[in-house]
Amino acid sequence: MKKLFFSICIIFSAALSGQNISNDDVVGVYKEESNDPVGGATFIFLLDYTYVIAYFGGFQKGVWELNKDKVTLIKSTEPQFVLYGRSLKSLKNRTQINFSVEANNAVAVGLDSNEQIKLKPVFNNAANCFNYPYIFKQEKKLHQLRAAQVLIKNTSSFSKNHPSAHVFHFTIPTDYNDLILINLQSDYTQEVTSHAIFNNGKLFIGSDSKGMEKRPLQTLNEEDLVMSNYFAKKSLFPDELTSDNEFFPYFENPSSELLAPFYKIEDFDISKEAFTLESEPYFQASCDDD
């Protein structure tokens, strides 16, 4: 009887200790196996509760938290719209806007509309056959810019009767006359939360997962570890946009003035507001125009 009681105590203690998972237990590197020729994904959980998932052609980052044996991954998001600006003497009193936007997001933009918000589509409905860059110019200074995504649910068409949407408001510094409006795919802007189970040194993601074995962070080479920490903390949109950034506009044989950096313009308000959507777009993008 004593032996049986002793055995039960050992089993019960082992079960309890198995549930006592610490954050340090999760920190490490996990390799997802794949039959894909380009390989699977590598999950890197860092000490500061950030993570990086590296895969062929890109990476995902975010923060993680542990509750018992459940690991929650919260993907980092970027704003729907980011506006950069700078001063170009060659433009004088004119203003130009480089639209670096996703056509399928049905982006609409308003310029200097105060009392009644009026937004105009950047592209025509069902736009295709794009020929970038798309640069809008006006013969005066711009003081305010508003931007929104105006989609009919589950389609890529504009909702002309859309009562309201989240409108981003930007106030343009008085000396800025060269602007870049950036809008990203929903993969970057929508928050996604996923879950994994940590058990016996393995990470299980999905019901069919066979588990990924944990390796210590030190098994990464120094360069990969440094880059993982860098990407986990790096913002996609720096305060200063320099010519080596992917969002910096391309120029053939640029002058030193055109290579000057852009600076992020902070939005002062993001609110859900009613507006009028005008029918005429800034640009027509259609194969029928050829």
pTM: 0.77
For residue 262, name the pLDDT band (cuts at 50, 70, 90). very high
pLDDT digits (tens, 9 = 90+) for 21-32: 999 999 999 998
> What residue numbers bound the domain in which 124 lies?
81-187+237-289
User: What spatial distance separates the first Cα and last Cα of the chain, rounded to whole Å?
Assistant: 90
Q: Would the pLDDT of 19 be above 90? A: no
Pair 34, 60 in one domain = yes
Pair 93, 36 in one domain = no
Pair 182, 100 in one domain = yes
Pair 169, 211 in one domain = no
With contact defined as beta carbons under 8 Å apart, do 32 and 215 qualify? no
Pair 47, 128 in one domain = no
Pair 179, 260 in one domain = yes
Alpha-helix runs per DSSP H in the chain? 2-19, 23-26, 186-189, 222-233
pLDDT digits (tens, 9 = 90+) for 75-101: 998 899 999 999 999 999 899 999 999
Min mean pLDDT across 41-50, 112-121, 170-179 is at 112-121
Looking at the structure of the chain, the number of domains it has is 2
Pair 16, 55 in one domain = yes
Q: From residue 154, how far is each of 2, 105, 157, 186, 194 by CA, in Å?
A: 66, 11, 9, 13, 23
